Amino acid sequence: MTAVALVPFVTSLLLAAGGGWLGRRLPPAAATRLLTAACLVTALATGFILSVAAFTLLAPMPMLAAVGHWSATVVRGHDPLPVTAGLLPAAVVAGLLAAATRRAVGVGRDLAAAELTCRRLGPAPTGLVVVDDDRADAYTLPGLTGRIVVSTAMLRALPPDERRVLLAHEHSHLRHRHHAYTQLADLAAAANPLLRAPAAAVRLAVERWADEDAAATSDNRVVAVRALARAGLARARAGAATVPTAALGAVHTDLAHRARALREPPPKPRPVLALTLTALILATAAAALDTSHATERRFERAQATFAHQTRPVSGHPDR
């Protein structure tokens, strides 16, 4: 393994340390897209390189060398580690793959439950469904068409201008398919636990994205702040209703930070940060590709050496 193969692990550490900061500094839409891409690429790259490391270390075993028709000496190269060292990355890969599989199954189950709930709620041309409930809540459900669910208690708790802001927030979730970003980031974090911080930043960023879309419907951003505060207070007082796991809600995530952000002017583009994060994503993907090509060439040489060593020597009878 070369030094290039360490890039995805360095990226994981950088995202673990700075993912939350990036999520707050970048404009919400850019933070959502770039951090989700960074989580996915980094999780795939680290998993791939760990798999390559495990396979390369275990490959010199006589049984594997015989089955693969490669030279154990060439595969081992100058690697000082014993063959048994490959068991550690193999165990890590197996554990992370199991965690990612469990998460993927959970996501599938949550999406199926959300779709079933959408169908039970019946048709909704605008996506909005008002439910008669004394507990104040509002959330968006993913699905083939999706639904925005708002309780009558929540509607009563807000004046008309704040009600429009709240509904605009939920419509933003539905229109931009924010659920896909949060679910993909959570899946990447299951495959690489170091990515939990950027995955949490994605969840906050989609709420900030919806906040900004909602604030744009009002001439005064203070109305959006009041809508968040009043809706959060109403939900806390009444006791929140049980909502599907896949739901996104306007008052479900870090209200204090979002209220502070809405008191400031709309976020400005940050091209330097965006380009830096994009470069990090590309470097991580390039490291995985370079490792793939280097490993392929190594095993091709090993197979060529094995074929040369096992080639029968033809005799030449004397005349």
Say whether 244 sits in a helix, a strand or coil. Answer: coil
Q: Which two tokens stand for residue 167?
A: 């509904």
pLDDT, residue 302, reads 86
Q: Which two tokens stand for residue 251?
A: 């008052």
Residue in 248, 274, 258, 266 with CA at minimum distance from that of residue 30: 274
pLDDT, residue 314, reads 56
Residue ranges covered by each domain of the chain:
3-304
Give the integer Cα–Cα distance in Å for 7 and 289.
12
pLDDT, residue 316, reads 54
Percent helix, strand, coil in the chain, to 5, is: 70, 5, 25
How many other CB atoms are found less than 10 A from the CB of residue 291? Answer: 23
pLDDT, residue 317, reads 53
Give how far Cα 223 sits from Cα of 108, 149, 207, 217, Å. Answer: 37, 21, 16, 10
pLDDT, residue 171, reads 94
- Give, for all 319 residues of the chain, the pLDDT tens digit: 678 889 999 999 999 999 999 999 999 999 999 999 999 999 999 999 999 999 988 888 888 888 888 888 888 777 777 777 889 999 999 999 999 999 999 999 999 999 998 988 888 888 899 999 888 889 999 988 899 999 999 999 999 999 999 999 999 999 999 999 999 999 999 999 999 999 999 999 999 999 999 999 988 899 999 999 998 888 888 665 677 788 887 777 788 889 999 999 999 999 999 999 999 999 999 999 999 999 889 888 888 888 887 776 555 555 4
Residue in 301, 266, 315, 305 with CA at minimum distance from that of residue 27: 266
Decide if 166 contacts 206 (C-beta within 8 A).
no
pLDDT, residue 1, reads 60
Give the integer Cα–Cα distance in Å for 239 and 235.
6
Give the integer Cα–Cα distance in Å for 65 and 86.
15
Give how far Cα 203 sits from Cα of 89, 126, 186, 192, 233, Å. Answer: 30, 25, 9, 17, 21
Angle between helices 160-176 and 221-238 (to 10 degrees): 90
Q: How long, in residues, is the chain?
A: 319
Record the pTM: 0.90
pLDDT, residue 303, reads 86
pLDDT, residue 319, reads 43
Name the strand (E) or helix (H) holding 129: strand 128-131
